[in-house]
Amino acid sequence: MRAVVVNSFGGPEVVEVVETELPEPGAREVRIKVAAAALNPVDAGVRAGVFGGAGKRIGLGWDVAGTVDAVGVATAWSVGDEVVALDYGMVKPVGAHAEYVVVPADAVAKAPTTVDAVHAATLPLNALTAEQALGLLEVTPGQSLLVTGAAGAVGGYAVQIAAHRGISVTALAREADEELVRSLGAARFTAGAIEAGSFDAVLDAAVLGEPALEWVREGGRYVGVIPHAEPASVRGVWTGAVEVSADGARLAELVRLVDDGVLTTRVAETFALDEAAKAHARLDEGGVRGRLVLVP
């Protein structure tokens, strides 16, 4: 089968499509025939060597939508099930950017019925990150939440999930994105000029760090999206960062929100698997609204 890998670190030029052995599922695992797989900033980080693995062949890709093709023992899934999953792992020989991928059975959820596989592939990593970040923030209905980078994939899902739960969301984004983030459910919008201590909680999807921390009230909560890179606590503000984990049960709840029209999946552009390097180059250009998706 074909798979997207890097054998050395660098820019998009190091991305290769290679022939490799078809993986076999073990106990409590399933193999998915990939219909679509989103490209995320973490893939660019892996490609650049941010997470280590020098000297190894590293497979890329975390998000997958497709069809169960084979199952190991002790799984509840059946061949032919249409699913989505998070293929967690920084350094792995094969990732979701491949024709087939093996994942733990408990990382899998039924695919949405209201969107196609290309759109479904944009859900697992970014929506789970948003959901788990909101859990760390412990924000409740009636409290105020600022989401930085609200027009991005994680930020956009966070706005929608929080607004659906009755949380008052202010979106920080570029002025050109105001209409978009308001359509996602933000009650208020700002492109800057935020008063210090204005919010009960801040989800810093734009990775602003200390400036965003200043916008949290005394004793509030701040969560970033890069593990172990959150700023130090000040004024009694709890600080942390989300490290996403695969969670098929939680992913199933997010799928339900897609089918209920609460969550909007956004695709910027699709690329054939053989065009993976081209997709990485487009990601590096920036300004992408929605996800780039590879289609084997």
Q: Do residues 7 and 113 both lie within one domain? A: yes
Q: Quote the tokens at residue 157.
A: 């899902």
- Is pLDDT above 90 for 221? yes
pTM exceeding 0.85: yes
Tell me, yes or no, whether 150 and 193 share the same domain. Answer: yes
Confidence of residue 260 (pLDDT cuts 50, 70, 90): very high
CATH number reported for the structural domain that contains residue 32 in this entry: 3.90.180.10
Q: Kindly state whether residue 114 falls inside one of the protein's structural domains.
A: yes
Q: What is the mean pLDDT of residues 51-65?
A: 96
- Residue 19 contacts residue 11 (beta carbons within 8 Å): no
Query: Is residue 193's pLDDT more than 90?
Result: no
What local confidence, expressed as pLDDT, does residue 108 receive? 98
**Residue-level pLDDT at 192:** 85
pLDDT value, residue 287: 84
Q: Looking at the 3D structure of the chain, how many domains does it have? A: 2
Pairing of strands 144-148, 168-172: parallel
DSSP letters, 185-223, are: T-SEEESS-PPTT-EEEEEETT---HHHHTTEEEEEEEE
Please give the Cα distance from 62 to 87 (Å, whole number): 5
Q: Are residues 150 and 46 in the same domain?
A: no
Residue 107: HSE in the Cβ half-sphere, 13 Å Cα cutoff: 26
d(CA 142, CA 121): 32
Residue 200 maps to which CATH number?
A: 3.40.50.720
* Domain hosting residue 186, numbered range: 126-241
Q: Among 242, 164, 247, 254, which residue's Cα sits nearest to residue 202?
A: 242
Q: Report the distance separating Cα 67 and Cα 42, nearest Å.
A: 24
Neighbours of 229 (CB within 10 A): 10
